């Protein structure tokens, strides 16, 4: 049975409650205003998901609803009765709870933001202490896991936390990256993104964001896009913004509490609500006097130093992510063109060969530990082995020595060495960056090279290098057997063979699979 406006539900003693209007709705179901038929007292009734999917999930819900009913305190919503589906089989699961007449904390924050009416320092301390008291009551029984302003109701002028632990009861089949059962994207602790064990510190982190929003009427992270990856990146890697303003509004001591609640490593985050309550209950540093001023200065300096450190970490993470994306871009093109060719060759070979002595094309897994090097080998039994290696050429990953004109006095010779210094650069072909460098060589040392050259599009163009000895120098050194490949660490030699007179020279051609087949045929024959 589906309950809606006009429906009647019962409590454990059989009293009847009539649903009069909808107060809100979401993925869990709906919340209705309800009136007790006996004394006309107003309550709220929350309907929950009717189908659990399996018995284990249903049992989890029943246990959770039992724990939730045991939570009590001045700053939590009182649960009058929780129906798990057993006592009144004709009715779906629902909860009869205390009615909050003042809306949600989210509504209040939004109103103050629109009217540019921030909370005073006194109001903030009072709100913080109310919320800490509520969380102490909740965490005695369970981890909430969905702390947010929408789940904090205003009842007779005070804050009361609701929905404690109920998000967790969603059917296993609904647990997707929308984090149903794990919280709301804006408030999920870093460790929750890694599916670590639920702890009180997850709630402390989420409440730290709520404290920040109350203080600054703003969210602590700049989110580039409203999607899962953006929030995951923010919670796990981004620094807290506007920390100086937080310190100016709250004082360095209280600001440090919020920042400690928002520490990303669990080891550095505050561990209990009692600890937070104790810190909030201390007199402000301004009251302490001159010594308090010095302590406030020191704490402020620490906040600034930690912010700079977090900014550095964020920049390192950004660069690492850029590098990973770049490597994956090159790898994708290597696999979709070069690896795909050899895999098709193997399939055709084995399809037409009688017997079990099959051809194989396999990756060398140990090389994948080196993020920028991908290595495969082709084994044609009784014929040859062919190694196929691809190295990602990261921007500015090469260095070269540049002569210095000392007359200009632009550099300190004591620092850079006499007459020269090193500069980073990216190898280029026709004024375009080389993104990937491939060595293909057989058992006898014969081979050829390929390189991937950046274009105006996201993907690059492959080129084939046919390498040979330079006839001009044949009398001066022992020539290599042709065709040969430059080794994976000899890209600079290949470039010299194109751009200047060298022992070796290379003919560079735009990639064509027919040409590739011809070169591979030479390595097999």
pLDDT at position 227 = 85
- Residue 52: how many CB atoms within 10 A of its CB? 21
Q: Which two tokens mark 443?
A: 């058992």
**433 closest CA partner among 479, 495, 487, 373:** 495
User: Residue 215 and residue 333: Cα distance in Å, rounded?
Assistant: 49
Q: Which two tokens mark 66?
A: 């039992």
pLDDT at position 32 = 92
CATH superfamily of 104-282: Transferase(Phosphotransferase) domain 1 (1.10.510.10)
User: What are the C-alpha distances in Å from 477 to residues 447, 469, 474?
Assistant: 20, 10, 6
pLDDT at position 385 = 94
pLDDT at position 87 = 87
pLDDT at position 311 = 75
CB neighbours of 464 closer than 8 A, spacing ≥ 6?
A: 448, 449, 450, 508, 509, 510, 511, 512, 515, 516, 519
DSSP helix, strand, coil percent of the chain (3-state; round to 5): 40, 25, 35
**441 closest CA partner among 376, 515, 348, 371:** 376
User: Residue 397 and residue 410: Cα distance in Å, rounded?
Assistant: 25
Dihedral of CA 39/44/48/50: which sign? positive
SS (H, E, C) 135-200: HHHHHCCCCCCCCCHHHEEEECCEEEECCCCHHHHCCHHHCCCCCCCCCCHHHCCHHHHHCCCCCH
User: Residue 140 and residue 381: Cα distance in Å, rounded?
Assistant: 67
pLDDT at position 15 = 94
pLDDT at position 283 = 62
Dihedral of CA 399/403/409/415: which sign? positive
User: What are the C-alpha distances in Å from 405 to residues 157, 412, 417, 423?
Assistant: 75, 12, 12, 15
Residues of the chain with pLDDT under 70: 1, 26-29, 48-65, 67, 164-183, 196, 283-293, 365-370, 404-419, 474-475, 499-501
Burial-class residue 40 by CB neighbours within 10 Å (0-12, 13-18, 19+): exposed
Dihedral of CA 73/79/85/89: which sign? positive
CATH 1.10.510.10 in the chain, residues? Answer: 104-282
User: Residue 480 and residue 505: Cα distance in Å, rounded?
Assistant: 12
Dihedral of CA 333/337/339/344: which sign? positive
Burial-class residue 103 by CB neighbours within 10 Å (0-12, 13-18, 19+): middle
Q: Are 75 and 158 in contact (CB under 8 A)?
A: yes
Three-state SS for 412? coil
CATH number of this structure's domain 1-98: 3.30.200.20
User: Residue 439 and residue 389: Cα distance in Å, rounded?
Assistant: 5
pLDDT at position 361 = 94
CB neighbours of 162 closer than 8 A, spacing ≥ 6?
A: 76, 77, 97, 100, 151, 152, 153
CATH 3.30.200.20 in the chain, residues? Answer: 1-98
Q: Are 251 and 270 in contact (CB under 8 A)?
A: no
DSSP state of 29: E
């Amino acid at each position: 049975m589906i309950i809606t406006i006009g429906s009647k539900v019962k409590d454990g003693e059989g009293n009847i409650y009539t649903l009069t209007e909808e107060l809100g709705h979401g993925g869990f179901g709906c919340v209705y205003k309800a009136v007790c038929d006996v004394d006309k007292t107003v309550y709220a009734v929350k309907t929950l998901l009717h189908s659990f999917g399996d018995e284990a999930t249903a049992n989890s819900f029943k246990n959770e609803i039992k724990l939730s009913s045991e939570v009590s305190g001045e700053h939590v919503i009182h649960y009058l009765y929780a129906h798990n589906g057993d006592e009144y089989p004709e009715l779906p699961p629902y909860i009869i709870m205390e009615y909050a007449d003042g809306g949600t904390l989210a509504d209040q924050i939004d109103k103050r933001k629109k009217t540019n009416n921030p909370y005073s320092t006194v109001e903030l301390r009072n709100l913080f202490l109310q919320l800490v008291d509520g969380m102490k009551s909740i965490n005695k029984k369970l981890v909430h896991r969905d702390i947010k302003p929408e789940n904090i109701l205003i009842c007779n002028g005070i804050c009361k936390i609701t929905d404690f632990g109920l998000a967790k009861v969603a059917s296993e089949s609904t647990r997707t990256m929308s984090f149903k059962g794990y919280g709301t994207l804006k408030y999920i602790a870093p460790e929750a993104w890694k599916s670590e064990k639920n702890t009180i510190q997850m709630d402390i982190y989420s409440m730290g964001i709520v404290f920040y929003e109350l203080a600054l009427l703003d969210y602590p992270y700049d989110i580039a896009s409203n999607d899962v990856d953006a929030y995951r990146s923010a919670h796990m890697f981004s620094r807290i913004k506007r920390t100086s303003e937080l310190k100016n509004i709250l004082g360095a001591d209280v600001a440090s509490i919020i920042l400690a609640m928002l520490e990303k490593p669990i080891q550095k985050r505050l561990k209990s609500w009692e600890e937070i309550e104790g810190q909030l209950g201390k007199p402000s540093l301004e009251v302490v006097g001159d010594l308090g001023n010095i302590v406030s200065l020191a704490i402020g300096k620490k906040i600034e130093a930690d912010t700079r450190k977090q900014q550095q970490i964020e920049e390192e993470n950004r660069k690492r992510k850029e590098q990973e994306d770049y490597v994956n871009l090159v790898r994708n093109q290597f696999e979709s063109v070069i690896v795909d060719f050899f895999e098709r060759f193997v399939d055709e070979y084995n399809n037409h060969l009688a017997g079990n002595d099959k051809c194989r094309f396999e990756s060398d897994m140990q090389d994948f530990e080196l993020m920028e090097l991908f290595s495969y080998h082709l084994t044609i039994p009784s014929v040859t082995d062919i190694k196929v290696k691809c190295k990602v050429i990261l921007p500015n990953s090469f260095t070269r020595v540049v002569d210095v004109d000392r007359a200009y006095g632009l550099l300190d010779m004591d620092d850079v060495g006499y007459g020269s210094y090193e500069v980073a650069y990216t190898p280029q072909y026709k004024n375009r960056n080389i993104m990937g460098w491939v060595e293909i060589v057989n058992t006898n040392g014969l081979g050829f090279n390929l390189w991937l050259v950046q274009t105006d599009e996201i993907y690059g163009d492959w080129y084939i290098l046919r390498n040979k000895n330079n006839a001009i120098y044949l009398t001066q050194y022992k020539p290599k057997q042709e065709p040969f490949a430059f080794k994976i660490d000899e890209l600079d030699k290949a470039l010299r063979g194109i751009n200047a007179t060298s022992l070796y020279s290379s003919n560079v051609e735009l990639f064509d699979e027919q040409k590739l087949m011809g070169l591979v045929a030479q390595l097999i024959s």
